[in-house]
Every structure is written in structure tokens, then in C-alpha cells.
Structure 1
């Protein structure tokens, strides 16, 4: 059970589904937003996108306001009343285990477990490096984290059976084999051959201070910024007016584009950060989004996976450091599938 909000939740769900199918498991994928009544799903997606695009600072206020356990309990109760039946219909049949990659889906599934309407184990795959309280629902049987840092956060919030599973990143994301592959990747995208390239990413919607980030990078003279604007065509046109910046729209071949570049500058701590590190490309966080962007930045830095540049005057030094040192290594193999299969095989072994 994922949600079509951005690309991170669906991206993790797709990779976990691929690995489970490769292990011989039958998998059905559903969009949590489709289980909401009427136009609720479109409304949730639209409000989230508009808030991050038009007034991103308010998103930080929302994440802070929804951080209490009382709010989590209220949210799960409302979702159970409004969408419980539709969720049960979507689950259907007799699944062995239900997996969530989206916090509101976890809240609803946990409530259904508490109400004994759902009788099979529920696991949550925590897609973020930081854990907002809405990720943790009392009825969820197991929580799978990317790293010990979010695992510790989840436990502090009362999560049951928290395990470190590692990132769910597709096999196409791998380090480049040699300099020839590096050059070929650049040529495939029409990128400059010689100078270092800094890939600037801001999610599938191109949200945040991407303009300023790209120009700040260009001002350092250390790298040519290559900005991925996703579906934000306005942003791509704006950046295209600056001859120092390479502005791209939606990119289908992100593995090859990441291998073409020398470092990644990101603002949300999402899936692209994990894909870049898996590809052996260092990551720097800069001008991050309020709310989850800032908490993810702090967690990535604490884990030693990405430096967080808080002030523009520190950007040059951070870029120089990233270009000079190899990317930190992250867990090579995601163990989530083994853990999910273990939960499915022995649900009675889960602590109450």
C-alpha cells in the first residue's frame, strides 16, 4: 500500500514489489489515495503539492502540528471511519502480510489491526531517514528502517519490532564501471565532457529553491549545475535562460544521469539521495525544504551519508569536500524482503 504523492513512496514500493516477486511471492500494489472516499485522494495530493510549491514554510508548521500521539490517534480513527471498508476491499482475499510505504496508510492499517478487522500482520517500510510520528501506528506489527538513525527515532516514538532493513533501491543504480562509462553517460544527455557536474534534484515536482541552488553552485566555479526540474516546466524554462546551468525536464533514465555526474545536491532527503549513494555519487543537502526536508537533512548528516550546508557561504567548501572524497558506503543489499518473508512465515512469533 503506497501513495502517489511525489515519487519516493511509490519508488520504494515498486522496488520492494520487484524483490518480493523475484522471491516467488504474489504481490498486489494499491494506491492509498484510491481508498479514500470521493475526491479526498485528489484533494490530499493537490493540497500537499500546492503547499510545497506556493508556501513551503507552512509545511514545516503542519509537520510540527501533527507530531503528537493524540493527533496520530485522531487521524487513524477518522481514516478508519471514512476509508476502513474501502481499504479492506482493496486488500481483499487472504493476504499473508500487508506492507505500507506511506504514513497515513500505516495509520489506517494499524487501526484496522487494533479493531481486529484485519487479521494478518502489517509491516511499515519507513521510506524517510527521519521518522515523523504519523509513521508510527500502534497496531502495526513491524517497522523496517533504512538505517540505525531512523530506527532509533522510530523506537523512541513507540514503534514495535523496529528492524534495520536498508534502502530499497533498484539494481539499475550502481557505481559506474570506468571512466568510459562516465563519459558515455554524459554524451547520452548532451552534457559537458570535462568539468565536474553537480546534479541538482528536487523531487518529481521540482519543488523548492532550485533556482537559487543552481545559481549558487554555478557561482562557486567548482561545478556545472545540472538541474532536474521533473514535471515543473516553468522552472526548466527559467533555468534555461542562464547559460551556466543545464536544465532538464522529466528524466526517464536517472541511473545513467546520476552516473554522468560527480555529486548530487538535493533538498528533501528522498529516494534520489539513496539512489545516488548506491551509485557511488556523494550527496550534499542544500536549501532543504521545511519540515521533512530539514529533519531528513539532519538524519542524513547524523548517519554520515550527506553533509547539510546550512549557509550559502559554506557551499563552496562542501562542494570541494564532496568532489575530493568518495561517497560514503551504504548498505549494499536491502534485507526488507527477508524480514517480510519472516513475518509472513511466523506471524505468531511477533511480540504482542
Structure 2
């Protein structure tokens, strides 16, 4: 029997990264623990998988207004509504291979970082076809109705407000726990020597006496990163001689555009493709310019990094941005012009940037993965 199974859904990167963080923390905690991570989409029917993942990415990139409407509509639609019952029926009809895989693994406990597998497994438990507790880890700083899955062993919330919303929507208070959002072990010791700013700036070949701005495109690749970087590098004024680390991820065209920009701005731009060392890039940064995805935010907060937020996906990411701005850890730029204005303003006001960093560190939960394991494994 496997002590812990973690189920994610590869619709965006955040749910997968949270699951990977939990498994990595379990491995670090007890190498013999045997935590297993399964992407539920890898075991769903091919047609369902394509529609579920590709449709989501297409919507948020090409029709954000439609996604915003659907997000709000489903948030207010009761679980008993015909549309919700039909959705769950389609999911069940597509999930045979996934449920067989779960039974094969025979987990002692399950954590879901997405509501879809939690709904499927709760039905299996109610029909006596699955043993063991099922937990649900919410991976944003707000709560949507789809995450309300009654009857689970426990619900793991990013903040006290998310926990409050869970209780207000009818989940039993004794089953709601505030843990934060799990981040990889590399982010869990923010004061470690490997995460010191100056050491990482030098390691990257940058100037430690000049501020560093980290700019990322986000997992869904929304927005034109190269255009944003070009706009940032063209800024003029106090503090605007900053350096930029730009992470293009797996997008070859974006990386090529960044490399062309690097040639025009020698010594000021470091283009990076897909990397497993985001913790070091964040550690080197004085400011992170990013989309407000739940996991990216959790990583920035764990390292105490102030944020300038861009291109939030309507719904969950807009709410994430609102949380950070209320708490004083981030600013939000609505468009490229606003990005330039606010970036220049922050670079010219180091005391404001320092205050945002303090607020970010205060909100951080670098121990979130261990807190989740404490709850789930009862140790």
C-alpha cells in the first residue's frame, strides 16, 4: 500500500506544481514514504482530456471575457443544477482508467490539488468502492464554488479568508485547515545560503550593485513577454538602469525574441528558457513581474519577493491580485503602459519596494507542504 497519493490536473501548471511540491516534501521527510503523484488527465479519456485542457488554455488566451462570464456563472450555480450534474456525468464516463489506477496504487491517503479528482473519488467512497481519506488542497487565494466538494476528510486553504469562505459555503469548520499553498523544498528555506541575493546575482553574471527585475510569462503563456521586456528596458529616469532576467519557458519564439533584445541591450538582459532553478532566479530578483497564478504567488511570498502583477486571468487570478494588493505585497499593471509607469515608480522608490518585500515575507508560507503532510499523515 502506498502511504500517500497526490492527484493533480494539468490544466495550467499550478495544480501540478503543488502536487510535485507535496511529493518532494514527503520524500525529504521520509525517503521510504513512497508518495506517488498522478496527473489525472493522463488517465482520462483522450477526447475529454483534449477538450478539458486545450479548451481552458484557448479560452483564457483568446476569449478572456467569455472565461470571466463562465467563471462567475459556475461560481453561482448550485451543485444540484442540471448543468453541474451533466458535467459530473461526463467526467465519470471519462474516468474509468483513472479510477482503476487509483485502486491499483492502493493509497492510505489521497490529496487532490484540483477539484475534479476529488469529486470523482468522493463518489467512489460514497459507494464503498474506495477506502482511505481524501483531502483537497485549494491552489488559489480565493475560493470558487467548484472546490466545494462535500464529505471529504479535510480541506486545505491558502489563507484565513479562504478558510472563512469554505465555512460560509457549508463545509464543516473542523475539517477546514489553513496551511498555505505547497511550494517545492527549494523555496522552503528562504534564508538558506543558496538563496542569498548577491550570490545568485553574481552566479548569473549580473551586477549585484544594480537592481534586478525578474519577468515571467506564466504557465499559460498569456501576453507578449518580449514586448513587455522591451518596454521595460526602454524606460528612462531614476533607478531605471535595472537589469532584467526574462524567463520565456518552453516557448522557442519568445526565447528567440528575448535573445535578439539581449543583443541590443548588452549587460542588461538575461534571457532564460525552461529552467528548474526558478528559486535561484527569484532569489536574485528585487522585484518579480508576473501573472498572479496561485503557485507563482506562493513561491514569491515564500522568498519574500515584492510583485508587479500583469495579465491576470479573469476570475481566480484577478482575485489573487486583489489579495496581494490589499496586503501591500504587490502592485497591478493593467496594460503595457501601466507596466512601464509602475515599474519606473517602484524603481525610483526603494523604500516602497522594501516595504512590499516585508509584507510579502510576512504572508509567505514556505512550510506549507510540511503543514499539509502533518494534517494528512497525522504526524
* Fold conserved between structures, TM > 0.5: yes
Look up the SS of the partner of 2:36 in the other structure: coil
RMSD between superposed Cα atoms in Å: 2.9
Q: Is the 8 A contact 1:113 1:140 kept in 2?
A: no
What is the CA distance between 1:10 and its match in structure 2? 1.5
Matched, 1:38 2:49: no
Q: Deviations over 1:240-265 (max 9, x none)?
A: 44445543221221111111111112
**Pair 1:179–1:340, CA change in 2 (3 A):** closer
In structure 1, the partner of 2:97 is 86
Does 1:62 pair with 2:74?
Answer: no
Structure 1: which 5+ residue stretches go unaligned? 346-352
Distance in 1 of aligned mates of 2:190 and 2:196:
10
Q: Report the secondary structure of 1:30's partner residue.
A: strand
Using the TM superposition, give the Cα deviation of residue 322 of structure 1 relative to its aligned residue in structure 2, in angstroms: 5.1
Could you tell me which of 192, 211, 214 is aligned with 1:199? Answer: 214
2:169 aligned residue? 157
Q: Do the aligned partners of residues 133 and 38 (structure 1) sit closer, same or farther apart at CA in structure 2, a change above 3 Å counting?
A: same
Contact 2:138–2:156 under 8 Å retained in 1: yes
For 1:6 and 1:226, the matched residues in 2 are separated by 23
Cα distance in 2 for partners of 1:101, 1:216 equals: 36
Long gaps (5+) in structure 2: 1-6
For the residue of structure 2 that corresponds to 1:39, the secondary structure is helix
Partner of 1:123: 135
Match of 1:132 among 144, 151, 166: 144
* TM norm structure 1: 0.84
Q: State the partner residue of 2:158.
A: 146
Distance across 1 between alignment mates of 2:167 and 2:39 = 27
- What do residues 95-119 of structure 1 show as CA deviations (whole Å, max 9, x unaligned)? 2222101122222223333444333
Per-residue Cα deviation, 1:69-128 (whole angstroms, up to 9, x for no partner)? 235444333322331x32321111542222101122222223333444333221001111
For 1:317 and 1:72, how far apart are their aligned partners in 2? 46
In structure 2, relative to structure 1, the CA distance for the partners of 1:4 and 1:287 (3 Å cut) is: closer
Question: In the alignment, what sits opposite 2:3?
Answer: none
Alignment of 1:1-352 (within 5 A): 1-21=7-27, 22-23=29-30, 25-67=33-75, 68-69=77-78, 70=81, 71-83=83-95, 85-93=96-104, 94-160=106-172, 161-173=175-187, 174-175=189-190, 181-211=196-226, 213-218=228-233, 219=235, 221=237, 222=240, 223-242=242-261, 243-244=264-265, 245-310=269-334, 312=338, 313-318=341-346, 320=349, 323-325=353-355, 326-328=357-359, 329=362, 330-334=364-368, 335-342=371-378
Q: Distance in 1 between matches of 2:165 and 2:329?
A: 17
Specify the SS of the correspondent of 1:66.
helix
3-state SS in 1 of match to 2:309: strand
User: 1:289, 1:251 → 2: CA distance?
Assistant: 23
Equivalent pair of 1:176/1:182 in contact (CA under 8 Å): no
Work out the number of aligned pairs and report it: 342
1:177/1:116 CA distance change after superposition, 3 Å: closer
Q: Distance in 2 between matches of 1:317 and 1:38?
A: 48
How far apart are 1:32 and its partner, in Å? 0.8
Change (3 A) 1:74 1:110: farther
C-alpha distance 323-74 of structure 1, shift in aligned 2 (>3 A)? same
Aligned partners of 1:102 and 1:180: how far apart in 2? 30
Counterpart of 1:299 in 2: which secondary structure? helix
Cα distance, 1:2 vs structure 2: 0.8
Q: Which has the higher contact order (CA 8 A, sep 6+)?
A: 2
Q: CA deviation at 1:177?
A: 5.7
CA contact 1:111–1:137 (8 Å) conserved in 2: no
How far apart are the structure 1 equivalents of 2:179 and 2:193? 30
